[in-house]
Chains A and B, each alone.
Chain A
Amino acid sequence: MMRYFLRRLAHAFLLIFGVSILAFLFTTLAPGNYFDEMRLNPQIAPETVAALRAQYQLDRPLPERYASWVNSLIHGEMGFSFAYNSPVAPLLLARARNTLLLTVTATVLAWGIALPLGVWSAERLGRFPDRMITWGTAALLVIPDLALALGLLVLAVRTGWFPTGGMASVDFENFSFLHKLQDLGLHTVLPILALVLSALPLLVRHVRAAVAEVLGAPFLLAAQGHGISGRTLLYRYALPAAANPLISLLGFSIGALLSGSLLIEVVMSWPGLGPFLLEAILARDLYVVIGGVLFSTIFLVAGNFLADVLLYWADPRIRTESGSR
């Protein structure tokens, strides 16, 4: 068992390592760097620009830069942000926390809604509730994320039900603890609603398909013959049998939610990785871009690792497979 986990863990680390190399390879494509704009300024001597480039090691060959970046990673810095004049890691950590708050909540909510809805739909296959759910998910599926997020924003502005941007009210610092919690909750409603609504239809459809496939199986008929019925049959017997593809889907859904969250954070000015990354791209803040991309990779790889662990727990076939090897 430990060997299985260790192998998955090593795989995850190799992936992250590979992505960091890939990101550095891409930086060689860049036509300029952060200090290029200074060259247009006649008051800054070319020697100054060259000195700055040298100071931040931008004139070194790629392997050397990568080595020094890895070195700074070990010291918990992940390179240096030119625009913020500070190490990258602490800057990113503050934003990554906010992104995680959104995506984790949205993942939990989306799955919490999709599982019962999908099971219910599969149970009533072809009947009225199933058809309603199929139509509903189809309707949600054809609305693009961007239109959904902007639509919610327009709605919020016109009704005034929810705050439309940011993560906290202006005088957040002066609120009492409960009031702070309430304020934060109110601000998260809109982005999380957008995320959940965009992720939900695919999840529901996959849950429905997986459970419907299992429901015809002989072992369920046998269970029914033994007098097991209703909720116990569905959730205790059918759902675990259908779990395998759904757990792989969990990893994918985390990736989709991270992508969706990038856009929704920018649209709803949520202070997460999304706006920060966009700002860094526009400023050519090299190491922040690499750091941001790497953080998203770490989240996704961690999500996939979680899915692997769950799969091990849920699917006996994997246990015997890895045991025999």
Chain B
Amino acid sequence: MRIQRNVARWLVVLGVLHAIVACAGFFAPYDPAEQDRKSPYLPPMRLHVVDGQGQFHARPFVYAFRLREGTFDQYEEDAGQSYPLTFFVSGAGYRLLGFLPCRLHLFGAEDSRVYLLGTDGYGRDQWSRLLFGGQVSLLAGLLGAGITLSLGLSMGAAAGYYGGWRDDLLMRVAELFLALPWLYLLFGVRAFLPLAVRPLAAFFLIVAVIGAAGWARPARLVRAVVLSAKERDFVRAARGFGATDAYVLRRHILPEAGSVLLTQAAILVPQYVLAEMTLSFLGLGVPEPVASWGNLLSSLQQYSVLVSYWWMYLPALAMVPFFLGYLGLASSLQERGPAYKIERRGLGSLT
């Protein structure tokens, strides 16, 4: 019971995190591609509740920034001008959950812009880009894991159930895929696909690459489950009654693989989100101007950005709560059932 509750708790945490990212338009004050050319590389604005005279304000406010004399990229807070935050304001249009046209934003400020995480070189709001980028990265991870698991399920089931030469062939090919370090495999597959494509095509391309490259490990796990389930008495009985292969697989064997697949999903999704981040970071994934967690960080490859604009690093930490959620989910799933033993041998998330 306690373990079931743990699983539920982690699912709730993950649900909340994903909901925030899914409703990025509402939590982000601006459009992710909107440029504020007058303030590139603006540092994160601090929210104040106490003003210069020591007076307390219930409504948080930000100070205006102005250029420091004689520089072109150094800003300082101008305590003379303060802009109180306003909540539930109407602003840039967006589509809630991808289809509902909407203009409502959680917060904003009149006569000024609020940059909670600062701005990038084009003056785009990093906080908004972080949220919208999360949509791209998380969707890539979820879709990729979906592809991997369905590939792994069908390959593993075919290999385990039919046995013989099909089993040999599939498992030898799986061995080839596992003989490559994971990231090299990803690079190798990515290398022979088109490089300069539009963002949407690039997105589906890397989802397909990530999803297809990882099929071998879940396939092996599913095969092991199918092999042991195949010999159970109730399966033999069903076959004796003349049940077709498809029926036996669907009704009796694959449900056994459910817990293995669920645990694999909890391990694969963060791994794939990270894979998308890595590819986009290196310029092989989703291109600008679309934001993703990977290409948000790619400006850090320039030494000047690394030295002068530390807040460009902040989006890297966005992944941490999601990793925590998935890690917690995976470990409480592993505690739950006999899947643990198989998992240990499979060493799910290692490579």
Q: Which residues of A contact B (CB under 8 A)?
A: 15-16, 18-19, 22-23, 26-27, 29-32, 138, 141-147, 150-151, 153-154, 157-158, 164-165, 202, 209, 245, 248-249, 252-253, 255-256, 258-260, 262-263, 266-267, 277-278, 280-282, 284, 289-290, 292-293, 296-297, 299-301
Contact = CB atoms under 8 A, between A and B. Distances in A.
A296 to B, nearest CB: 4
B12 interface: no
A154 B306 contact: yes
Contact of A296 (B176, B181, B191, B195): B181
Interface secondary structure of A, over-half rule: helix
B277 interface: yes
B257 interface: no
Interface string B314-333: 00110110011001000000
A142 B327 contact: yes
A157 B306 contact: yes
B337 interface: no
Given A18-B179, A153-B300, A262-B184, 20 more contacts: A15-B179, A18-B175, A18-B176, A19-B180, A26-B189, A27-B192, A143-B323, A144-B274, A146-B274, A146-B278, A146-B294, A147-B317, A150-B313, A154-B310, A252-B351, A258-B181, A262-B181, A262-B183, A282-B195, A292-B187
A255 B181 contact: yes
Contacts of B349: 202
Contact of A289 (B181, B191, B294, B310): B191
Closest 5 CB pairs of A and B: A259-B183, A147-B316, A255-B351, A258-B181, A30-B192
Contacts of B181: 255-256, 258-259, 262, 296-297, 299-300
Contacts of A150: 297, 300, 313, 316
A142 B300 contact: no
B106 to A, nearest CB: 26
Interface stretch (B15-23, B94-102, B156-164, B281-289): B281-289
A77 B324 CA distance: 46
Contacts of B281: 146
Contact of A301 (B179, B182, B194, B347): B179
Nearest to B294: A146
Contacts of A30: 191-193
Contacts of B319: 144, 147
A151 B176 contact: no
Contact of B188 (A145, A252, A289): A289
B211 to A, nearest CB: 16
A142 B324 contact: yes
Interface of B: 172, 175-176, 179-185, 187-195, 270, 274, 277-278, 281-284, 294, 297, 300-301, 303, 306-307, 310, 313, 316-317, 319-320, 323-324, 327, 344-345, 347, 349-351
Contacts of A15: 175-176, 179
Nearest to A103: B181
A263 B192 CA distance: 19
B193 A255 contact: no
A87 B310 CA distance: 42
Contacts of A153: 300, 306
A29 B172 contact: no
Residue from B191, B297, B347 with most neighbouring chain A CB atoms (10 Å): B191
Residue from A144, A164, A202, A266 with most neighbouring chain B CB atoms (10 Å): A144
B323 A164 contact: no
A142 B323 contact: yes
Contacts of A147: 316-317, 319-320
A153 B313 CA distance: 10
Nearest to A260: B183
Contact of B297 (A142, A146, A282): A146
A259 B182 contact: yes
B176 A22 contact: yes
A278 B279 CA distance: 10
A164 B195 CA distance: 29
Contacts of A284: 191, 195
A140 B241 CA distance: 53
A305 to B, nearest CB: 11
Contacts of B188: 23, 26, 289-290, 293
A296 B323 CA distance: 27
A293 B184 contact: yes
B313 A151 contact: yes
B86 to A, nearest CB: 33
B176 A143 contact: no
Contact of B283 (A32, A248, A282): A282
Contacts of B189: 26
Contacts of B282: 266, 278
Contacts of A293: 180, 184-185, 187-188
Contact of A277 (B187, B193, B274): B187
Nearest to B179: A15
